Amino acid sequence: MDDQEFLEYVQAGGQVETGDWMPDDYRAKLVKFIEMHGNSELMGVLPEREWILRAPTLQRKLALTAKVQDEVGHSQLIYRVVEDLGKPREHCLADLVSGKSKFHNVFHYPTKTWGDVGVIAWLVDAAAIISQKALLKCSYAPYARIMKKICWEESFHILHGRDVILAMVTGTPEQFELVQEALNRWWPPLMQFHGNPIPADDDPMYQWRIKSQGNEEARQQFLDGYVPQMLELGLTIPDPALRKRDDGVWEYTEPDWDELRHVVTGHGPKTQERLGFRRLNHDETAWVRSVVLAEAA
Amino acid sequence: MIWEVFRQERKGQPFQHAGSVEAPDFRFAEIYGREQYGRRGESEALWLVPREHLSVVEGWADEFDLKYRRVDGYSIKARLKEARERAESR
């Protein structure tokens, strides 16, 4: 099989296993994509971790802790897939803390109030699950299989987020306001989340069938599913241009793509602080890894 | 050391490949396996197998065209039609 035949194979729905031959470019794209996903799971726990000690009830504290544990678990599963493609986890972590590799834009922002925690758990996870469901048909089968388990766990997270939001919008006017303010803060990064609207056929990740839908398709799906849910709670969406056309397509104010690029290249409001924490944590736990490995050897 | 994880969802069901964990020995493989593949009661049991102990067999030759072993080796449609026509004309 040559590169062209491989491309036709995956475009016809063919799947690939770890030991199968694959073009170098395909392997490189897989590593880049899956590694960024693993990084995002690992960095994604930090905004929520900041609220574990400040959660309003014991029940919320336990649920948030469980969610953080899930996301770290996802990063372990995902880095394992990257390792089998040839990049060891230690290298992934080194590239993450040195700023060489990327993680999702939404994890570069601060969580100001408990309202942010609710909006993250509900809407950021909802946006993420749309991207992740498009990976269930990934041409690289080991990744697709792992996504099945991850999507299953994410569905708990969305429910947890909705529950947090519902408690607040049915609470005092101050609580409702916390949700509205958090939505105002998170709307721009949410609209940037699925990436700029390049046509799917120009997207190498789609061409190799690593993902099965284009960026704009994912964003439209998010708007279709969640705008009605936000409106029914009485929330105001901070985009006066947002409307659904008669042909079913959502129109919206063009997201700030420069901000997206700026943020994911290490210049978000919390990027350096969170990478610093990850670095510190990596250094402080080095002795655990060395003890575990030495004991078994 | 890589351990392949096979997961049985309910008693009586087959063990299906779920993923893998990296662990220096079985004690750690068990801890990681339980955490990553059974934390929410989604598994009845796990098989943890060191990757190097798995032998893969693939590629099936059929030099002698042994189609008579398979259902697609039998095409009865045309013959059945003829048999029915003959039966009618009898």
Sequence letter at residue A91: H
Q: Please, which residues 95-114 of chain A have a Cβ atom closer than 8 Å to chain B?
A: none
pLDDT in tens, A77-105: 999 999 999 999 999 999 999 999 999 99
3-class secondary structure, B8: strand
Read off the CATH number of the domain in which B33 is found. Answer: 3.10.20.520
pLDDT in tens, A126-182: 999 999 999 999 999 999 999 998 998 888 889 999 999 999 999 999 999 999 999
Q: Is the Cβ pair B36, A146 closer than 8 Å?
A: no
What mean pLDDT do residues A276-283 have? 94
Which residues of A fall within a CB distance of 8 Å from B21? Answer: 76, 80
Q: Which residues are bridge partners to B1 per DSSP?
A: none
pLDDT of B67 reads 81
Q: Is the Cβ pair A80, B19 closer than 8 Å?
A: yes
Give the C-alpha separation, A240 to A247, whole Å: 19
Mutation for testing the B interface, residue in A15, A67, A76, A83 having most B CBs under 10 Å: A76
Total structural domains within chain B = 1
pLDDT in tens, A236-247: 999 999 999 999
Task: Please name the residue of chain A whose CA is at the shortest distance from the CA of residue B29.
Answer: A296
Give the C-alpha separation, B43 to B21, whole Å: 16
Cβ contact B60:B70 at 8 Å: no
pLDDT of A296 reads 60
- Complex-level ipTM: 0.72
How buried is residue B9: exposed, middle or buried, by Cβ count under 10 Å (0-12/13-18/19+)? Answer: middle
- Closest CB to B19: pick one of A145, A293, A296: A145
Residue B50 CA: distances (Å) to CA of A42, A142, B2, B62: 26, 17, 6, 32
CA distance B86 to chain A (A): 45
The residue assigned the tokens 């493989």 is B29
Nearest to A194 by CA among A225, A163, A170, A165: A225
How buried is residue A179: exposed, middle or buried, by Cβ count under 10 Å (0-12/13-18/19+)? Answer: buried
Domain residues for B15? Answer: 2-50+58-89
Q: pTM of the predicted model, to two decimals?
A: 0.88
- Closest CB to B28: pick one of A84, A142, A296: A296
